[in-house]
Chain A
Amino acid sequence: MARKLLLEHINVPGINTFDVYRQNGGYRSVEKALKTMSPDAIVEEVKTSGLRGRGGAGFPTGMKWSFLAKPEGKERYLVCNADESEPGTFKDRYLMTYIPHLLIEGMIVSSFALGAKTSYIYVRGEMMPQIRILERAIAEAKNAGFLGKNILGSGYDLELYVQPGGGAYICGEETALIESLEGKRGNPRIKPPFPAISGVWACPTVVNNVETIAAVVPIINDGGEEYAKIGIGRSTGTKLISASGNLNKPGVYEIDLGVPVEEFLYSDEYCGGIANGKRLKAVVAGGSSVPILPANLILKTVNNEARLMSYESLSDGGFQSGSMLGSGGLIAFDEDQCIVRNTWNFARFYHHESCGQCSPCREGTGWMEKVLHRLEYGHGKMSDIDLLVDVAKKIEGNTICPLGDAAAWPVASAIRHFRDEFEWHVTNPKEAMERNYGLAKYADPLPKLEEVSQ
């Protein structure tokens, strides 16, 4: 069994308290960083580790940190993104609930590395229990001298605050999050300028996901080189995967990047196979925004290679036959699920969550929801299917923030891979209201190359 870096002590009774966390080696990285390392050395260590942002985009964290502007006389901020709203993703909630001090520890080391004297953890407002947990953990850490003035006698001061959101998926997007933190509507900003130059209150700001910040702890404890030994290729380290849908054992798992998808889905160590003895129809690998893949394509690439849980392998085949690791929110669909209904549900979600600033996103998501609704409820026309593809294309790449793409990809990929199911809804509207399409050709064997590329 692989070594766990983030969840190693998750089952230790009382690990959510400072004392137990400390007894299990907690806050060592703060001592090491503040007493023996310079901020630049920490950034270098994170670069060496190859750590990539765990919030969805997978951008190298060390590089992101090195872009932070450091003008004289201006504060710098680290903001932790704990908005966790991407459907299918629930790893940050898990981490904050059960091992909150890991996030606090990571925030201290990361803030020191970036030269931030005030840092915020922006938590979605619905996670009020987690907000309470974090506030308590912060008070404990402060009491023990790990926060506040002159931490461990190093001369470094840091205040850490928890900020609640108000219920809006878009506030997970980093510039919308910054707007929200400033007490405004969560409208994404036009980039550039990037937050690294002008973020919170026009000061240089780094926004990082909860899991990214937590991963800094083992990187500092063991060294970036050790961290980089785990995983495969440019997908280094471990990753938390939130697994949901029709699985025997849904939940949060820490994997070494590079575990085969098949092993992750079917082995008893992880998800334990599809629930109720059913067969797998489709998988969304990295949160609702990434392309959905039929079972055969999630298990193997079109070149008949085993697909792995890594950034590269999941995106192998591009949008024709691949997907993305995204936030690590894996959703499994069994043979009884309706792809049209799920696509409509996701389209409804994105329409509801569009901030409304850009017309392609505001109007396009509404159109997609409407057209998918009529397909699902038996009033669709054959031309609706291409209409959806057309609307998705018109949104993609034409908006201020990536929510537009995030809304377009699930629709485009569902039609790309499950077109016959959409057509069946049009040709058999009555039947489609009574039963689902079923598994069809998606389980096995692998389709021929020509069939998946169009």
Chain B
Amino acid sequence: MLSVTEHKDINFSSDLVKQFDDIVTRYPEGKQKAGLLPILHLVQAEYGWVSPEAMDKVAAYLNIQPIEVYEVATFYTMFFLRPQGKFVLEVCRTGPCCLVGAEKIMTHIEKSLGVKEGEVTSDGKFSWRGVECLAACGMAPVLQIGPEYTFYEKLTEQSVDQLIEDLKNKI
């Protein structure tokens, strides 16, 4: 389901559009649709999620149908279709990480933040979710935080508490 949250009057900044322009030069003439994923990443980095309005604008930019953007945005797990906390803690929940305590880390995060998976804290700062293997199983348990996907390895309950504390103090 696409989000019903409205995101009116969205206008891509000229700086953002310049980045789009750079991306589409990577593909042969007429194949600019290939820029869709990189462009959606840029949009999400800018707004924190990809709204239906933003997707429509991307479709217009790439000269493709809006449905071509929706079907892609809904297929890939990295794109948020509704607003999230400012920091989204994405914890790996796949087998190898679970062998060394990922489930305990997720329970701890749920308790520390006081919200369930997918929900946002009341101050709007945090949300969290389980994600699949992040190709870092030797450093397990691990979590990442977008939009630059900073990586935190060998998590313990203490290191998670410290991380949340540090993020609280960020603007």
B50 to chain A, nearest CB (A): 11
**B138–A353 CB distance below 8 A:** no
Interface string of B37-64 (1 = CB under 8 A from A): 1101100000000000000000000100
Judged by a CB distance under 8 angstroms, whether B140 is at the interface is yes
Q: Contact partner of B94 among A84, A166, A345, CB < 8 A?
A: A345
Contact A87 B37 (CB under 8 A): no
Chain B residue nearest to A251 (CB atoms) is: B138
Residue ID in chain B nearest A355 by CB atoms = B75
Q: Which residues of B contact A355 (CB under 8 A)?
A: 75
Q: Mark B76-87, 1 if CB is under 8 A from A, else 0.
A: 111100000000
Interface residue from B35, B79, B96 paired with A183 (Cβ < 8 Å): B35
The CA-CA distance from A93 to B137 in the complex, in Å, is 11
> Which one, B28, B40, B62, B131, contacts A166 given CB within 8 A?
B40
Please give the distance in Å from B94's CB to the nearest CB on chain A: 5
CA distance A90 to B68 in the complex (A): 32
- Whether A124 lies near B76 (C-beta < 8 A) is no
CB distance from A245 to the nearest CB of B (A): 5
Q: How far is the CB of A58 from chain B (nearest CB, A)?
A: 20
* Chain A residues near B (Cβ < 8 Å): 75, 84-90, 92-93, 118, 120, 124-129, 159, 161, 163-169, 180-186, 201, 242-246, 250-252, 288, 329, 331, 333-334, 337, 341-342, 345-346, 349, 352-353, 355
Report B4-44 CB contacts with A as 1/0, cut-off 8 Å: 00000000000000000000001010010111111011000
Expressed in whole angstroms, the Cα–Cα distance for A246 and B78 within the complex equals 29
Instruction: Give chain A residues whose Cβ lies under 8 Å from the Cβ of B77.
Output: 166-168
* Shortest distance from the beta carbon of B59 to any chain A beta carbon, whole Å: 11
Give the Cβ gap from A274 to chain B, nearest Cβ, in Å. 11
Find out whether the CB atom of A183 lies under 8 angstroms from the CB atom of B37: yes
CB-based contact B100/A246 at 8 Å: yes
Give me the 4 closest cross-chain CB pairs, A-B, nearest first: A166-B76, A167-B78, A244-B137, A183-B36
| Contact B38–A163 (Cβ < 8 Å) | yes
Closest residue to A410 on the B side, CB-wise? Answer: B95
Give chain A residues whose Cβ lies under 8 Å from the Cβ of B95.
87-88, 288, 331, 342, 345-346, 349
B28 and A87 contacting across the interface, CB-CB below 8 Å: no
The residues of A that contact B68 with a CB separation of less than 8 Å are 183-184
A92: chain B residues at CB < 8 Å are 135
State the CA gap A88–B99 with chains docked (Å).
11
Please state if B37 and A244 are interface contacts (CB–CB under 8 Å): no
In the bound assembly, the distance between CA atoms of A216 and B104 in angstroms comes to: 42
Structural contact, A183 and B144, CB atoms closer than 8 A: no
Q: How many A-B residue pairs lie within 8 Å, measured between CB atoms?
A: 152
| Set A75, A86, A164, A342: member contacting B28, Cβ < 8 A | A75
Q: Are A242 and B132 in contact (CB under 8 A)?
A: no
**Contact of B137 with A329 in the complex, beta carbons under 8 Å:** yes
Given contacts A244-B140, A345-B95, contact A166 B75 (CB under 8 A): yes
Tell yes or no: B123 within 8 A of A by CB. no
- Which chain B residues border A186 with CB–CB below 8 Å? 75-76
A-chain residues with CB within 8 Å of residue B28 when the two chains form the complex: 75, 118, 201
Q: How far is the CB of B13 from chain A (nearest CB, A)?
A: 21
* Contact status B37-A165, CB under 8 Å: yes
- Report how far A349 CA is from B94 CA in the complex, Å: 7
Report the minimal beta-carbon distance from B75 to chain A, rounded to whole angstroms: 4
List B contacts of A168 (CB < 8 A).
Answer: 75-77
What CA separation (Å) do A288 and B147 show in the bound complex? 28
The answer to whether B99 touches A337 (Cβ under 8 A) is yes
Most buried by B among A92, A126, A355: A126
Whether B138 pairs with A244 at a CB distance below 8 angstroms is yes
Name the B residues within 8 Å of A288 (CB-CB).
94-95, 133
Tell whether A246 pairs with B149 under 8 Å between CB atoms, given A166-B79, A182-B33, A353-B132: no
- A244 with B75, Cβ < 8 A, contacts A85-B135, A352-B132 known: no
From the candidates B31, B35, B99, B149, name the one contacting A128 in the complex (CB within 8 A).
B149
Do the beta carbons of A349 and B96 come within 8 Å of each other? no
A-B contact pairs, 29 of them (CB 8 A): A87-B94, A88-B95, A90-B136, A118-B28, A124-B135, A125-B41, A128-B148, A163-B38, A166-B37, A166-B40, A166-B79, A168-B76, A183-B37, A184-B33, A185-B71, A245-B100, A245-B137, A288-B94, A288-B95, A329-B137, A333-B99, A342-B95, A342-B99, A345-B98, A346-B95, A349-B132, A349-B133, A352-B132, A355-B75
